[in-house]
């Protein structure tokens, strides 16, 4: 399943996981192996993790590429910024599965890697969606931008907490 999802991301193609659970009819001959749930109605953890990967679903411009690592949870996307589009670039994530210790994000210019300081990020109440807004839209118009999201790592002293301060640009 993860290799299929990586192929869809590479092609910037949307996807949906259709098989919810086995119903014992002629279209579901694989039983619980085909669906999202085990025979005891608990979710299949590996499938749940696979389909809740981080992805961008709206771009303030034209998408160029997108990648998600099913090993580390790292997410990368790039796009050509278009100042005539007023809606923000939006990213879905599942923090409890992929970023249990928090996460860091960076926004930079693709070719130079220069961080873009004039960015704000709004997180939805459930924490699953991030909206990236840019202040100097005319300066960045028609330039390639990128977002990188990575897990916050635990330290020897313990876990670095996921706080509102984590929603800042990392230089």
Which CATH number characterizes residue 73's domain?
Answer: 2.60.40.1180
Say yes or no: 45 and 111 in one domain: no
> Is residue 20 very low, low, confident or very high in pLDDT (cuts 50, 70, 90)?
low
Q: What is the pLDDT of residue 129?
A: 93
Q: Is 138 helix (H, G, I), strand (E, B) or coil?
A: helix
Domain count for the chain: 2
Q: What value does the mean pLDDT of the chain take?
A: 81
> Is residue 24 very low, low, confident or very high in pLDDT (cuts 50, 70, 90)?
low
Q: Is the pLDDT of residue 166 over 90?
A: no
In terms of residue numbers, what domain contains 72? 53-171
Q: pLDDT, tens digit, for every residue of 67-96?
A: 999 999 999 999 999 999 999 999 999 999
pTM, rounded to two decimals: 0.79
Angstrom distance (rounded) from CA 116 to CA 125: 25
DSSP 54-93: -EEEE-SEEEEEEEE-TTT--EEEEEEE-TT--SPEEEE-
Angstrom distance (rounded) from CA 79 to CA 9: 14
> Is residue 170 very low, low, confident or very high in pLDDT (cuts 50, 70, 90)?
very low
Angstrom distance (rounded) from CA 15 to CA 6: 11
Percent above pLDDT 70 for the chain? 80
For residues 133-155, give the mean pLDDT. Answer: 82
For residues 47-60, give the mean pLDDT. Answer: 91
Q: What is the pLDDT of residue 156?
A: 46
Longest dimension (CA), the chain: 58
For residues 36-44, give the mean pLDDT. Answer: 81
Say yes or no: 157 and 73 in one domain: yes
Say yes or no: 70 and 153 in one domain: yes
Say yes or no: 45 and 57 in one domain: no
Say yes or no: 88 and 25 in one domain: no
Say yes or no: 40 and 57 in one domain: no
């Amino acid at each position: 399943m993860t290799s299929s999802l990586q192929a869809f991301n590479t092609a910037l193609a949307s996807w949906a996981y259709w098989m919810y659970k086995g119903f014992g009819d002629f279209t579901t001959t694989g039983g619980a192996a085909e669906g999202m749930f085990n025979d005891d109605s608990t979710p299949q953890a590996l499938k749940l993790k696979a389909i809740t990967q981080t992805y961008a679903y709206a771009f303030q411009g034209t998408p160029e590429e997108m990648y998600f690592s099913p090993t580390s949870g790292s997410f990368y996307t790039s796009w050509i910024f278009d100042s005539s589009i007023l809606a923000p670039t939006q990213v879905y994530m599942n923090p409890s599965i992929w970023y249990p210790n928090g996460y860091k994000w960076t926004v930079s210019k693709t070719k130079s890697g220069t961080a873009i300081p004039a960015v704000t990020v709004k997180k939805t109440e459930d924490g699953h969606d991030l909206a990236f807004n840019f202040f100097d839209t005319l300066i960045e118009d028609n330039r390639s931008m990128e977002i990188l999201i990575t897990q916050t790592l635990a330290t020897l002293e313990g876990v670095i907490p996921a706080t509102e301060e984590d929603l800042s640009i990392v230089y």
